[in-house]
Homo-oligomer: A and B are copies of this chain.
Amino acid sequence: MFEEGATLKKRYGEENVFDLSLGNPVMEPPVEFRQELKRLTEHPLPGMHRYMGNAGYPETRAAVATQLSLETGIKFTMKDIIMTCGAAGALNVVLKTILNRGDEVIIFAPYFVEYRYYIDNHDGVASVLPTDEQFIPKLGVLEAAIGAKTKAVIINSPNNPTGTVYSEDFIHRLGELLRKKETQYGTHIFLISDEAYRKIIYDGLKYSSVWHHHPQSIIVTSHSKDLALPGERIGYIAVHPDCSQREELVDGLIFCNRTLGYVNAPALMQHVVQHLQQVTVSVTEYQKKRDFLYDHLIKMGYSAVKPQGTFYMFPSSPLEDDVAFVRELQRWKVLTVPGCGFGTPGYFRISYCVDDRTLEGSLVGFKKAAQKFNLG
């Protein structure tokens, strides 16, 4: 998609293409990031670009643990934290560590498309379950799907591509269900929570975390979105302090971080984010963009669940064939992603982490397509 957008922009001019296809935040990192990077560059620490232990710098791991403790009321220490090459690196390390060949990993459609590759990388089998009309997993379906081979369930709230945020009540019931099934099969079922968008939630919503609802929980996340650093590949894994065989699990994670070839999370960024655990990009700006886009699309006759977080929206496709509809938008130089790319045909994803000019410019195309298919 990155390349396709670049080609179109080359042909028609950057200003004539409205690329809403990528989760590549247009915002620059917060000013605190700039300051910290400048400080380190002007007063370098001795050896600050060398290897460290494969889990990352103790100071950085401790800073993450402190922040997580503050946010959740659960006591984390550096031993629960492994710094990684982004959330993608984190999830690969987790899956490599916990999966045996043929183990099942449950994901919910629509899902982040890379999940399927990551599960396949480590010889797992993805089991894809549906969500309801608000994009919330159906617990009845989940209950029937969990078997003796189920090693993990991956959730992603706030969700890419829908923007849905799971409620405390939902996560509570999910945790109860997992423990019921653990007892039934005599197994452990990991709840892997992909929290890449944890800090980007709207309307004053409080984030509901997995920690209070399932001890066999692992989160994977990054600073790609909250600090707008997606190219820098800096993220972490956090393991529930009460997880069974926690020490063995953490040793395995550190070992796999090494042997999968990540070796360690980029050193300089570890130094930087150590001091930025309380810093986040302006969520208000993203919320404004959501409101702007959502209001316009609804007025045009599109139908969409209002996103509560992330910077994505996942409206219904006016055509049953979402690929054809995305192609139609492309005729107007508006780039989006068909829902089938997320395992859910009949929808399309809009990414609104773009500048206002691009967002405003895209409205013409959305309007033309709405008129063509008699919406509203």
Is A85 engaged at the interface, CB distance under 8 Å to the other chain? yes
Chain A interface bracket (under 10, 10 to 19, 20 to 34, 35 or more): 35 or more
Give CA–CA (A258, B54) in the complex, Å. Answer: 21
Is A24 among interface residues, defined by CB-CB distance under 8 A? yes
Check A74 for interface membership: any CB of B closer than 8 A: no
Q: Is the CB of A49 within 8 A of B259?
A: no
Which chain B residues border A130 with CB–CB below 8 Å? none
Q: Which residues of B contact A92 (CB under 8 A)?
A: 260-261
Additional A-B contact list (18), CB under 8 Å, known A49-B231, A117-B259, A121-B260: A2-B54, A6-B53, A34-B44, A37-B41, A38-B42, A86-B263, A88-B261, A89-B263, A92-B260, A92-B261, A114-B258, A114-B261, A229-B267, A233-B263, A260-B260, A260-B261, A266-B266, A266-B269
A209 at the interface (CB under 8 A from B): no
Nearest-neighbour CB distance to chain B for A35, whole angstroms, equals 10
> Copies of this chain, how many?
2
A264 and B114 in contact (CB under 8 A), knowing A46-B28, A121-B259?
no
Interface centre among A41, A91, A228 (most CB of B within 10 A): A41
Chain B nearest CB from A15 CB (Å) reads 15
A269, chain B: closest CB distance, angstroms: 7
On whether the beta carbons of B53 and A24 are closer than 8 Å, the reply is: no
Is B85 touching A233 in the complex (CB atoms < 8 A)? Answer: yes
Say if the beta carbon of A11 comes within 8 Å of chain B. Answer: no
